[in-house]
Amino acid sequence: EAGVTQFPSHSVIEKGQTVTLRCDPISGHDNLYWYRRVMGKEIKFLLHFVKESKQDESGMPNNRFLAERTGGTYSTLKVQPAELEDSGVYFCASSADWRSYNEQFFGPGTRLTVL
């Protein structure tokens, strides 16, 4: 069974440009999460989808970030316009259940570098 996949693995863009990250969760997982790790710091929660609905987007840093999950399958995270401080590794995770004790399966991450 395929795990969580993310595309691209690495993106280098200039400040002011737009970038779209994609996440394909494990098939059948209704819950999809986005996280970000900046400059070797802790991994921080961005938002949580249950199917196509945003359950919690309290971690989204500002309105330059837009996440979608049309059809409840894959998700995209768009950064527009990108700023230098957006550089980091963006992880996607999925789980079959939203409850605390359920394991989240993580993808390999997308490393975003904003110059």
Does 112 engage in binding with another protein (CB under 8 A)?
no
**Of the ranges 15-23, 41-49, 67-75, 76-84, which one interacts with another protein (CB under 8 A)?**
41-49
Does 4 engage in binding with another protein (CB under 8 A)?
yes
Q: Are strands 110-114 and 10-13 parallel, antiparallel or unpaired?
A: parallel
Contact by Cβ (8 Å): 111, 9: yes
Does 8 engage in binding with another protein (CB under 8 A)?
no
Does 114 engage in binding with another protein (CB under 8 A)?
no
Does 48 engage in binding with another protein (CB under 8 A)?
yes
User: CB under 8 Å to 32, separation ≥6 — which residues?
Assistant: 23, 25, 48, 49, 69, 75, 92, 93, 94
